[in-house]
Amino acid sequence: MDLVVKKNDLLRELQLFQGIVERKNTIPILANVLMEAKEGEIRMLATDLEVGLRSRCEAAVEKAGSLTLPAKKLYEIVKALPETDVRIAEDKNGVKVAADRFDSRMQTLPKEDFPAVPEASGAVNATLPRSAVREMVAKTQFAITGEDTRYFLNGALFILGTTSMSLVATDGHRLALVNVDRKGGGSKPSKDGEDVRAILPRKTLWELGKLLTEGEGDIQYERGENHLFFDVGGRMLISRMIDGQFPAFERVIPKGNNKRIEFERERLTNAVRRVALLSNERSRAVKFQLDKGKVEVTSSSPEFGEAKETLAVDYSDGSMQICFNAQYVMDFLGAFDTDTVALELKDEVSQAVMKPIGTEGYDYTYVIMPMRV
């Protein structure tokens, strides 16, 4: 293989592979990116056996061929090069990566050792609006658990309907749900028109979110037997589905809340952040004391002391107290840029609901379990 490619074109694509490859793994080839040069372009592929990414960029190919190179080290080298063309050429002693006055030689691993990655059939199940998917991912991924023991919670449930789609994530203590209308309905998710559900791994959502930060145009979505395919502007994200039964999340969403308090989001964010500084380091608990016309946010810990901040609100119901994990509240507040958010609950609260006020194009519900302290 022998080719010349523009530095910025190659760097842009290599950057997208950095979250796919793993530094520490038991299979060395998984740290490499597979590069195939032919017909005026480089096609690249990386995978960790759960999530994969296919990409390409233009190149002047003098000799077609394929090889593998360490994805992270190649990215670091290309990033450090001057703004010029990069030559990648294979010979008997390895792979030469050169630009301007810089010259290097990298070791490769046999391309035959690179694992096979499923191919999309081309039968697109649905066309998804890019902006809607970007919002769905950004507003739910923080609620995914990191507990390996409950593997089915290590992802988010994607529900594709005929006229709408939803994404829901939970760690058992809080739940984030986004519902979005599919304009015009699009293609049917299944032959019988029923909603199709799939659990997307947390890493898939993270990589999908990065792909959606630039570019325009809708996403082509395909569901295979065990894998999902997302075509984002010509880049193909391949993800294994999590095999498991996602919790019946509909049952934990409170209905008939009779108390509602609206907050200025920025003021509430600052109050919780300051008060949490003196909360118990283990529980991170902050209390909301609701009274007519005000809400007191308080915390205390034997080691540090106590803190309180009072917020003026439009509230006229009876007094009550509720306690939350401060980090769970901050995660919700940090996911939005609306001016106002609302807290909804009942007299005997078992779950509370937080919602942003003023969002357009989607409906958002954040269910948070109160703490007992």
pLDDT digits (tens, 9 = 90+) for 201-251: 999 999 999 999 888 899 999 999 899 999 999 999 999 999 888 989 999
Phi and psi dihedrals of 229, rounded to 5?
-125, 130
Residue 373 pLDDT grade (very low, low, confident, very high; cuts 50, 70, 90) = low
pLDDT > 90: percent of the chain: 77
pLDDT above 70: residue 75 = yes
pLDDT above 60: residue 42 = yes
pLDDT above 80: residue 184 = no
Residue 193 pLDDT grade (very low, low, confident, very high; cuts 50, 70, 90) = low
Nearest of 321, 373, 330 to residue 349 by alpha carbon? 321
Strand order in the sheet with 352-357: 196-201, 155-160, 164-170, 174-181, 362-368, 352-357, 340-345, 259-264
Does residue 185 or residue 306 have the better pLDDT?
Answer: 306
Q: Which pTM does this prediction carry?
A: 0.90
**SS3 at position 371:** coil
d(CA 8, CA 253): 47
Contacts of 163 (CB under 8 A, 6+ apart): 181, 182, 185
CA 67, chain centre distance (Å)? 30
pLDDT at site 192:
55
- Please report how many Cα atoms fall inside a 13 Å half-sphere around the Cα of residue 352, on the Cβ side: 24
pLDDT above 80: residue 157 = yes
pLDDT above 70: residue 112 = yes
pLDDT above 90: residue 25 = no
- Please report how many Cα atoms fall inside a 13 Å half-sphere around the Cα of residue 25, on the Cβ side: 15
pLDDT at site 215:
83
Contacts of 202 (CB under 8 A, 6+ apart): 141, 144, 146, 154, 155, 156
Report the range out of 91-100, 179-188, 253-262, 329-338 with the highest average pLDDT: 329-338
d(CA 262, CA 358): 12
